[in-house]
Structure 1
């Protein structure tokens, strides 16, 4: 993927429209102009999330979150570059963990994760109603360094707000589709995974190399750092219902003093470095989102539960080769069904498949896979190899993780 390639500017769904559309029917506006506007918005939502669209959109105008984002995202890089013992203690103090081996100094991504619990009734509580005076004045029993003050609380507050966005959008999609499985499956789960992610610059890896005490590992890093991939994150589908992401923050690392401090900067290319495979054009496009917005993309469970009315997004994160001191910070919430939710992939209606009449990921009734429509598609384990009719979401997630990352996974070495 080159930075000069095609760019997709996401559709912006305003938070006020999301609130109106996800409210009870008797609370909807009665004025003709307002109803006409909301009907147009609903049509545009499905155009972007459905089979003919990219499978993602942006939500703008969310109140009370800009300070949370500005405070939380820079912590990702600082956490990534801490020494292992201090980071382990700090993460434990704030209720966070990681799902990659952080002792690996060659890693290109450092994620810090927490399971976010919620207990909402179908009315969908307003989780974005955050009092900033309270946010700024958090008291913590942990004796954390000042730059990590209230890490866990800010993580939860921003995560809960993003959960609300996903729940409301699920309700709107259910209304349009005429089903109730998306929102209900999320309410039954009562849990989402939040992940604060630092995408390393080359300079970050050199800092980790310099701080490593074992000479043999330093030599190994010297060999591997110069041969970095042009992808921060390999091609994959998310397997939940919705993934909600902050507009990323970019930081330039000081090249001379090995400091963990970085300076926030605009995206050098003007886009997010998130890229998707557009299945209708069979081409890679890079995503551009409004500043301060939240990106929502459809996962495979959302695709399945909507019976193909929503399209899962095949995506990756590209890495600028020419900017060795540029890092990328983002916060992601994965909304998924309950582990016991049963999935049935075989009853997709023909009219919900892609424009050429085929869906390259769904099994046909005789349990045969269609051939992938592109070389990029061949990198991803086919859905019909990971999901059998009647599997629970827990079984599907285990099989997907195994095939992506396990010994038999096509991308197991990533």
Structure 2
């Protein structure tokens, strides 16, 4: 999908977000009022039904240094000796929601549940791993960057609530009391070969071959061809929370750990893109997302779509590989902002607008490739109407959504 059309995100300056999320009484001039109104309108256009369902936030204080410190640790953790990594994750109260023992995985994910009430006590490290090392402030890095991103989501929810009416989005985030943060390493081909080599050398290769297609969509991936192919790091899906806040990714060009050359050098965005891609059902087309390297990307989730009665638009998205750089990995940090588990969804006043989902009938388009794309997405992405029922709690909705994407019981990891 490297030939996909490019979508340049609307860039919201942090100072404008602070302004537009503040109380109207604090706006001291007609100019500030006008700026707040135009900014609010632009936000709703980007996140609403006529927009892509995502935007970028720039100029967030301290974000550049936090991002540059934390993101490179994703690859280092992914390639650590499993026993060493297990100790470090335990020291910092981190878990994972991918099978880290599987050497053929495409992604390594390290997760922490972050509470809204917090402090920044230094973690107590096990002396076995040393008192001073590159992972010493891993947990604090999770929390500090995570809290920053949670605040962005809360401010944005406040702005959307005012435009929609009421304060249900912000209240839902505050009532949940926590959010899940993930540090994600998207493996380069080199990383994958290193893990397989190490597994073979230690005789830890699984007796049963790993079916990577089950990472996201199980056996349904076998039914289709191009859209679920190896050129995707992460398969097509909707996020089902309220907002997903992501750091713009960091790309690392790496050498084999035994090589003498300097490794893990940051690499400029290939073709200037993030390699996050979205599908626009109105245009039956895929767009590659473009954003500034030190910005934050905010995506609307399906819960926000439901709570806002369709005034916010959830985005179908995936993460694409770059086919020409086998040594290029992708690092990002993500915070998932969700309503409380007991939040009850009502669809009485909510119309499941089929124009915002993959339509049940493939539109007639001139480009047969686009028509095929829509057909294949229908096979692998479970429609919202089949996962959401009136009176369902967020816990029920989460379980049903996870079950239809991943199979199994649909239960999330606690970490």
Question: What CA distance in whole angstroms lies between the structure 2 residues aligned with 1:403 and 1:221?
Answer: 23
1:360 maps to 357
Is residue 313–residue 356 contact of structure 2 (8 Å, CA) maintained in 1?
no
Please tell me whether residue 388 in structure 1 is matched to residue 385 in structure 2.
no
In 2, Cα distance between equivalents of 1:221 and 1:202:
18
Q: Which moved more, 1:13-22 or 1:326-335?
A: 13-22
Aligned-residue CA RMSD (Å): 2.7
Q: Which of 153, 173, 177 is residue 166 of structure 1 equivalent to? A: 153
- Taking the aligned partners of 1:86 and 1:370, their CA distance within structure 2 comes to 49
Structure 2: runs of 5 or more not aligned: 213-227, 364-373, 411-415
Q: Quickly say closer, same or farther: Cα 1:348–1:262, change in 2 above 3 A.
A: same
Q: Deviations 1:160-188 (Å, cap 9, x if unpaired)?
A: 00000000000000001112111011011
CA shift in 2, pair 1:176/1:77, >3 Å? same
CA contact (8 A) 1:372 1:378 kept: no
- Alignment check: 8 A CA contact 1:247 1:295 kept: yes
Q: Which residue of 2 aligns with 1:324?
A: 326
Q: 1:377 offset after TM fit, Å?
A: 3.9
The CA deviation at 1:68 is 1.0
Query: CA 1:204–1:220 in structure 2 vs 1: closer, same or farther (change >3 Å)?
Result: farther
Q: Is the contact made by 2:281 and 2:357 (CA closer than 8 Å) also made in structure 1?
A: no
The aligned counterpart of 1:123 is none
Q: Does 1:141 align with 2:129?
A: no
> Where in structure 2 are the equivalents of 1:165-244 lying within 5 Å?
165-212=152-199, 213-214=201-202, 217=205, 229-244=230-245
1:280, distance to aligned residue in structure 2 (A): 2.2
1:339 is paired with a residue whose SS is: coil
Unaligned runs of 5+ in 1: 121-126, 128-134, 362-368, 410-414
- 1:209-358 equivalences in 2 (<5 Å): 209-212=196-199, 213-214=201-202, 217=205, 229-255=230-256, 257=258, 261-348=263-350, 353=353, 358=355
Seen in structure 2, the aligned counterparts of structure 1 residues 139 and 340 have a Cα distance that, compared at 3 Å, is: closer
Q: Cα 1:28–1:254, aligned 2, differ >3 Å: closer, same or farther?
A: same
Task: Report the secondary structure of 2:110's partner residue.
Answer: strand
Please give the alpha-carbon distance, in whole angstroms, between the structure 1 residues aligned to 2:35 and 2:280.
Answer: 28
- What is the CA deviation profile of residues 337-376 of structure 1, one whole-angstrom value per residue up to 9, with x for unaligned ones? 00000012342259xx47xxx4436xxxxxxx94576222
- Does structure 1 retain, via aligned residues, the 8 Å contact 2:253–2:263? no
CA distance in 1, matches of 2:282, 2:61: 35
CA distance in 1, matches of 2:270, 2:17: 31
Counterpart Cα distance in 2 of 1:97 and 1:48: 34
TM-score by length of structure 2 reads 0.85
1:98 aligns with 2:96: yes
The whole-number CA distance in structure 2 between the counterparts of 1:320 and 1:160 is 31
